[in-house]
Amino acid sequence: MSAGLAHLIPIVGVVAACLALGVSRATYYRRRRVAHPRPPRPTPPRALSPAERAAVLATLDSERFVDKAPAQVYAELLDEGVRLCSIRTMYRVLREHAQVRERRAQRRHPTYVKPQLVATQPNQVWSWDITKVAGPTRGSYFSLYVVLDIFSRFVVGWAIARTESAAVAKSIIDDACRRHGIQPGQLTVHADRGSPMVAKSTALLFSDLGIQQSHSRPHVSDDNPFSEAAFRTFLYRPTMPERFGSLEHARATFAELFDWYNERHYHSGIALLTPADVHLGREHGIIAARQRVLDEAHYAHPERFVRGRPIHPAPPAVVWINPPATAASLASTDSPQRGPQREAATPLELSAEPPRARTAPRDATGREETPALVRAEPSQPTSEAPPTH
């Protein structure tokens, strides 16, 4: 703006230049004025001398008055027949020496580290949480506690109680550790920051058992995905009642539910195996038996398998909570596929039919295009209720 005015004013004048650039003439003239430094303000004759100000500061910083507000010091000195200065002058002296600040403890928001946990076998990382289920009357609820293994998705412990309590959580985890033979230093237990999770009694139990404790960041549900997905699977079952008539009714219902989930639920996140199969190490034999069925089907009708011999997927070898970027990129290429995987047919496998070269269809310009039915595979295995459980 200044450069434009300086260029236009010698040609068209101040009025026309300011009008053309949309600048007020008062602004133009005000900016042309030379700012003159103000003379130092004289010291009022009634001001305290430097020696008196030093005496005030020494009095306020003395051991007797160091923890008292200026108003308290002023009143106490008046009772003793002493007046150093006004309360406002005391604050001025303190401010000159940077001794005045907000007395209330201001809240400081801590930086929470993103939890990153990895499991390569069962009983390395457990996740637990509490959710509410409706009781017999409106406004009444029971608390459902569930502890599961993130590698196998196996429910290792559960309970239902009338309230959330650290004592109940302590009992469940202690019992689960004993039943599964958890050794000190073996297990990490992950949870959110609910009151039972961060209770001192829970922390002492983990310390006694040699368990490492992990917590989600506040208000970040993705930090506990396995428990959140499990609750969605449990509570959206078709047989789940809208309300439970009593605590005994709820316990009987969830006992049957968790038996089904552990033993008969084919989990898509672990290659359509049941959590018990993976948790107890039965997956290799089951996958081998399923592979024989796929091989027989392929041998009987190889023409129906246009992508070659089907390969049954394996459950993930590594399971993460918040994987780092490198682990996520590797998982996107090595993760088990939904449904049987495929591999190219070989002459030995298709002795009745020679191998055929399979290429992607081409468009009118001759470029390869992706078939409409081919989908990008997810970076992590998922269950029927996202996120992965």
- pLDDT tens digits along 301-327: 999 999 999 999 999 999 999 998 876
Burial 326-363 (b: 16+ CB within 10 A, else e): eeeeebeeebbebebbeeebeeebbeeeeeeeeeeeee
Phi-psi region of 366 (alpha: psi -120 to 50; beta: other; left: phi over 0): left
Pairing of strands 188-191, 125-134: parallel
Are 143 and 249 part of one and the same domain?
yes
Are 128 and 94 part of one and the same domain?
no
Position 361 in a domain: no
pLDDT for 334 equals: 57
Pairing of strands 125-134, 141-149: antiparallel
pLDDT for 332 equals: 57
Per mean pLDDT, which range of 11-25, 201-215, 232-246 is the poorest? 11-25
Are 81 and 157 part of one and the same domain?
no
pLDDT tier for residue 372 given thresholds of 50, 70 and 90: very low
Q: For residue 219, is pLDDT > 90?
A: no
pLDDT for 197 equals: 93
- pLDDT tens digits, one per residue of 107-139: 777 888 899 999 999 999 999 999 999 999 999
Q: For residue 328, is pLDDT > 70?
A: no
pLDDT for 246 equals: 95
Position 48 in a domain: no
DSSP 307-364: T-EEE-----S-EEES--HHHHHHHHHHSPPSS-EEE---TTTTTTS--------B-T
Total Cβ atoms within 10 A of residue 137: 8
pLDDT for 238 equals: 92
pLDDT for 378 equals: 36
pLDDT for 2 equals: 76
Are 250 and 323 part of one and the same domain?
yes
Mean pLDDT in the chain? 84
Position 186 in a domain: yes
Are 127 and 90 part of one and the same domain?
no
Token digits for 290? 């399923």
**Average pLDDT of 19-47?**
85
Total number of domains in the chain: 3
- The model's pTM: 0.62
pLDDT for 363 equals: 46
Are 84 and 28 part of one and the same domain?
no
Position 49 in a domain: no
Are 169 and 296 part of one and the same domain?
yes
Q: For residue 369, is pLDDT > 70?
A: no
* Residues of the domain holding 17: 2-32
Q: For residue 106, is pLDDT > 60?
A: yes
Position 363 in a domain: no
**Average pLDDT of 4-23?**
85
Q: Which residues neighbour 37 within 8 Å (Cβ) at sequence distance 6 or greater?
A: none
Are 162 and 293 part of one and the same domain?
yes
Are 124 and 17 part of one and the same domain?
no
Position 383 in a domain: yes
Position 88 in a domain: yes
Position 201 in a domain: yes
Are 135 and 237 part of one and the same domain?
yes
pLDDT for 257 equals: 96
Are 190 and 318 part of one and the same domain?
yes
- pLDDT tens digits, one per residue of 51-94: 999 999 999 999 999 989 999 999 999 999 999 999 999 999 99
Are 96 and 143 part of one and the same domain?
no
Share of the chain above pLDDT 70, in %: 83
